């Protein structure tokens, strides 16, 4: 079986050494030594400040909304946030969970990111924030989104779950917005088994969030904030430190896999258009087929031959009832119906890729 992705497992002996240290210190959570070390190393590696580690990527979004006041309730106003329907469900469900109504605006047909031209039309007196997604690690139009946010006094929280290590115009893409969130799920390019992080623009927002992830506790007898438990633990941090040590090897291997696909795929498949100033991370390889029927046939035939490809992201979220189904967003609906993410991970062999591409060509040309 060839999975769509699989976790990158770092050197086992190095991980064991970190675990031995945890046993020696007997400190497993509550901002331990390894969490502090990983925080510092990630800030240096990513070129950012005000990074906060949390227990998963969904809580990263929820804490960001709370820390920035997006989910503060008001009897006379149900807060709204404008977001994309072309994303993993957690982008929108985390808003809904926090009492914020996601309002979907359509995507750009080439970049597949939230289209700035569609944002302003969706703004109402209840709008508190814009929540764009750097889809598959591709940069949103951050300048245009920032201009709209400033004009309407809105917060911007980027779901940057796919954008670990991505640069834009020579700097970390994660520097944009009032906050950017990362997922460190096991299937991500960089992972801690399970985990996440928030990068805040302002230190005061970071300090508020630090209280929030520890129940609002600021001392043995002091509770200053309404909080929850969203802390990363030492075991997660140990895995992250090991994965970070091997990040360059991982990236180089994934780039080779990505390039093999790009060079061998049929010309009639649509690939995502990326900004020329983007430093990419090769985390995903999505392709768009000519029709939904062709997409379904390719996915089914691959599965029959032991290859798992995924329809990321399907369905387009404006059609999901539990998110309060909204008017169809035609571009997102169209792309979502025709997209397939092909297997990509560091040790995917060229032989396996050849099998995948031959099956696809047979279906397309059949």
DSSP category for residue 321: G
Burial 191-229 (b: 16+ CB within 10 A, else e): bbbbbbbbbbbeeebbebbbbbbbeeeeeeeeeebebee
H-only helix segments in the chain:
12-25, 33-46, 57-67, 89-97, 116-122, 142-152, 203-212, 234-245, 247-264, 292-304, 330-338, 350-365
Question: Based on the number of CB atoms within 10 Å of its own CB, is 170 exposed (0-12), middle (13-18) or buried (19 or more)?
Answer: exposed
CA atoms within 13 A on the CB side of 203: 1
Catalytic-labelled residue, pool 6, 96, 188, 210: 188
188 assigned to active site: yes
> Could you give phi then psi for residue 60, rounded to 5 degrees?
-60, -45
**How far is it between the farthest Cα atoms of the chain?**
71
Supply the residues annotated as catalytic: 188
């Amino acid at each position: 079986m060839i999975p769509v992705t699989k976790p990158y497992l770092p050197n086992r002996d190095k991980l064991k050494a970190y675990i031995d240290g945890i046993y020696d210190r007997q400190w497993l959570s509550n901002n331990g030594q390894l969490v502090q070390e990983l925080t510092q190393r990630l800030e240096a590696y990513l070129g950012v400040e005000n990074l906060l580690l949390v227990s998963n990527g969904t809580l990263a979004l929820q804490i960001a909304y709370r820390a920035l006041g997006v989910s503060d309730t008001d009897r006379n106003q149900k807060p709204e946030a404008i977001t994309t329907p072309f994303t993993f469900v957690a982008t929108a469900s985390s808003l809904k969970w926090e009492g914020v109504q996601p309002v979907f605006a359509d995507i750009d047909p080439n970049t597949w990111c939230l289209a700035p031209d569609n944002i302003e039309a969706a703004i109402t007196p209840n709008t508190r924030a814009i929540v764009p997604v750097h889809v598959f690690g591709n940069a949103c139009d951050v300048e245009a989104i920032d201009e709209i946010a400033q004009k309407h006094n809105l917060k911007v929280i980027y779901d940057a779950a796919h954008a670990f290590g991505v640069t834009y115009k020579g700097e970390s893409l994660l520097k944009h917005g009032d906050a950017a969130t990362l997922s460190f799920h096991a299937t991500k390019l960089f992972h801690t088994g399970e985990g996440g992080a928030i990068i805040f623009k302002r230190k005061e927002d970071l300090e508020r969030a630090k209280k929030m992830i520890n129940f609002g506790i600021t001392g043995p007898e002091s509770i200053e904030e309404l909080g929850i438990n969203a802390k990363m633990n030492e075991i997660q941090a140990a895995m992250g430190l090991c994965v970070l040590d091997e990040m360059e090897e991982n990236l180089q291997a994934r780039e080779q896999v990505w390039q093999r696909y790009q060079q061998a795929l049929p010309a009639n498949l649509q690939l995502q258009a990326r900004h020329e100033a983007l430093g990419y991370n090769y985390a995903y390889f999505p392709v768009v087929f000519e029709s939904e029927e062709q997409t379904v046939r390719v996915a089914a035939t691959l599965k029959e031959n032991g290859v798992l490809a995924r329809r990321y992201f399907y369905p387009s979220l404006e059609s999901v009832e539990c998110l309060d189904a909204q008017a169809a967003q035609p571009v997102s609906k169209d792309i979502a119906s025709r997209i397939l993410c092909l297997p990509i991970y560091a040790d995917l062999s060229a032989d396996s890729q050849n099998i995948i591409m031959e099956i696809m060509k047979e279906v397309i040309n059949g």
